[in-house]
């Protein structure tokens, strides 16, 4: 049982949170440079859609949840702390849903104009003409 408490304390630690935030900042900085020099597709393959980045997000969510649970019993002074930590967990969950089920594309808009068409990397639907076979 002592190992479970020490494991929980590790996930709830401020040191882990700081290391994760610094690591994510450096990773996103590198991803930005890759995107600038090699393009968005390279940054997606090398950084943004990797399993290890997903693992870091899950680890951050565990860290936030454990630090919120470590404060039980919650008092009135913990409302801001809990709201912030649970809000970040909600944002991370939304990012996971968007990454898994979202549609990604590019929309070019000239200044002063409106646009209603988006360029997708993969076709969303395919249309087959029955008469011509196209």
Average pLDDT of the chain is 89
Which runs of consecutive H residues, i.e. helices, occur in the chain? 2-11, 14-38, 40-43, 51-69, 79-101
The contacts found for 10-19 with CB under 8 angstroms, 24 or more apart, are: 11/62, 11/63, 11/66, 12/63, 12/66, 12/67, 12/69, 12/70, 13/63, 13/67, 14/67, 16/59, 16/63, 17/60, 17/63, 17/64, 17/67
Better-scored residue on pLDDT, 84 or 124: 84
- DSSP one-letter code for 72: P
Q: What is the pLDDT of residue 14?
A: 94
C-alpha triplet 53, 55, 60: angle, nearest 5°: 95
Instruction: Tell me the pLDDT tens digit for each residue of 42-91.
Output: 998 999 989 999 999 999 999 999 999 999 999 999 999 999 999 999 99
Mean pLDDT of 88-113: 87
């Amino acid at each position: 049982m002592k190992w479970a408490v020490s494991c929980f304390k590790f996930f709830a630690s401020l040191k882990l949170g700081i290391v994760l935030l610094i690591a994510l900042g450096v990773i996103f900085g590198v991803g930005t440079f890759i995107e600038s020099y090699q393009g968005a597709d390279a940054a997606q393959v090398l950084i943004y859609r990797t399993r290890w980045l997903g693992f870091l997000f899950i680890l951050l969510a565990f860290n936030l949840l454990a630090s919120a649970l470590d404060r039980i019993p919650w008092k009135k002074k913990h409302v801001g702390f809990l709201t912030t930590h649970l809000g970040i967990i909600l944002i991370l969950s939304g990012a996971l849903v968007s990454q898994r089920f979202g549609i990604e594309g590019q929309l070019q808009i000239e200044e002063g104009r409106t646009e209603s068409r988006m360029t997708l990397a993969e076709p969303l639907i395919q249309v087959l003409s029955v008469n011509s076979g196209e």
